[in-house]
């Protein structure tokens, strides 16, 4: 059996710490090589040290200077969009595979249930994979499922997350969240046009992540409606394979667009029906409470990508050998 692939996590906040714990608890192919932060007093660094993971509070420069840096093959970045741009530039000379959990979108968008296989199977090597956003990971699979049946003229998503689960990085990246998610709804989901909205819900006790997907389609045939529902059901099951708390709240709704509804303000393509899908994401509570499904779906998706990257690298090494 080949040795596990060593990875580093940059960002000792909520997302980075949850991802570290997932690697330690759930992965048989990945091994924590370093936890990287900039706050020596952060809980993530303290937790990593207690778990025997090498740590540095000197950011990416500290990571590069660590004795085991050469052995690390994959670097997960759970900081912010601006920080990732700087981190990617600093790591570029070292040939590491980067998995970006920020909305920086330097590399191609990746939603594992939709395009991971095609992304890694292309002719060009992928060195920086962007995980879009939590809202994107939750909703783009549904848009892609619908667009696999009928063209989606317009796709809109609303992601509602508990305010308490939104840390400084999320709050600093609200603009990037909406821009990156909107672009990925089209690029990965297949919609002709995408729009994203995020809501930080201040309710107490905190509510788990809720997502609404609205798609405008040209689907006059009732048989198409049943194929849409079946495609969404299949996609939900695919996502559940790596995010167990991901689920539909009710049956997919497919209703005619009223003649007086001004859909021309959203698209100039022919539209007959509106498809509405209601989702919720309950977290696995590895590090944070179950209501933080927005963090759980990001770290679960990133873990899946990291494991597939590691498996691909191992196969390549075996072929070369």
Give catalytic residues, as residue numbers. Answer: 134
The CA distance from 248 to 191, in Å, is 21
| Residue 109 DSSP code | B
Both tokens assigned to 262? 């001004």
Distance between CA 46 and CA 20 in Å, rounded? 12
* b/e sequence 242-265, b meaning 16+ C-beta within 10 Å: bbebbeeeeebebeeeeeeeebee
E strands present in 128-283: 128-130, 152-162, 194-201, 209-217, 246-248, 253-256, 273-281
Q: Which of 55, 111, 57, 102 is nearest to 83 (CA)?
A: 102
Residues with Cβ within 8 Å of 92's Cβ and at least 6 positions away in sequence, in order, are none
Give SS3 for 234. helix
DSSP state of 13: S
């Amino acid at each position: 059996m080949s040795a596990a692939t060593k990875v580093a996590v940059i960002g000792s906040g909520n997302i980075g710490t949850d991802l570290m714990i997932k690697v330690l608890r759930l992965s048989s192919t990945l091994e924590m090589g370093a936890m990287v932060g900039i706050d020596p007093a952060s809980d993530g660094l303290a937790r990593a040290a207690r778990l025997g993971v090498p740590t540095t509070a000197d950011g990416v420069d500290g990571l590069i200077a660590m004795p085991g840096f050469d052995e690390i093959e994959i670097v997960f970045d759970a900081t912010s969009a601006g920080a990732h741009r700087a981190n990617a530039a600093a790591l570029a000379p070292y040939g590491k595979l980067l998995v970006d959990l920020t909305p920086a979108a330097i590399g191609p968008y990746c939603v594992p249930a939709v395009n991971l296989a095609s992304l890694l199977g292309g002719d060009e090597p992928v060195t920086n994979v962007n995980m879009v956003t939590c809202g994107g990971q939750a909703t783009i699979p549904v848009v892609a499922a619908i667009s696999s049946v009928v063209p989606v003229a317009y796709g809109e998503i609303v992601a509602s997350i508990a305010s308490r689960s939104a840390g400084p990085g999320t709050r600093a990246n609200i603009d990037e969240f909406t821009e990156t998610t909107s672009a990925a709804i089209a690029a990965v989901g297949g919609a002709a046009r995408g729009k994203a909205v995020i809501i930080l819900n201040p309710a107490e006790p905190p509510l788990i992540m809720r997502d609404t997907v609205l798609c405008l389609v040209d689907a006059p045939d009732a048989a198409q409606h049943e194929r849409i529902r079946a495609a969404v059901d299949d996609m939900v099951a695919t996502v559940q394979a790596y995010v167990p708390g991901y689920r539909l709240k009710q049956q997919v709704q497919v209703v005619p667009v009223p003649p007086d509804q001004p859909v021309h303000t959203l698209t100039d393509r022919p539209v007959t029906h509106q498809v509405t899908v209601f989702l919720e994401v309950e977290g696995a509570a590895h590090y944070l409470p179950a209501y933080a499904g927005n963090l759980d779906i990001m770290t679960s998706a990133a873990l899946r990508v990291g494991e597939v990257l590691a498996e691909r690298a191992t196969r390549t090494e075996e072929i070369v050998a």
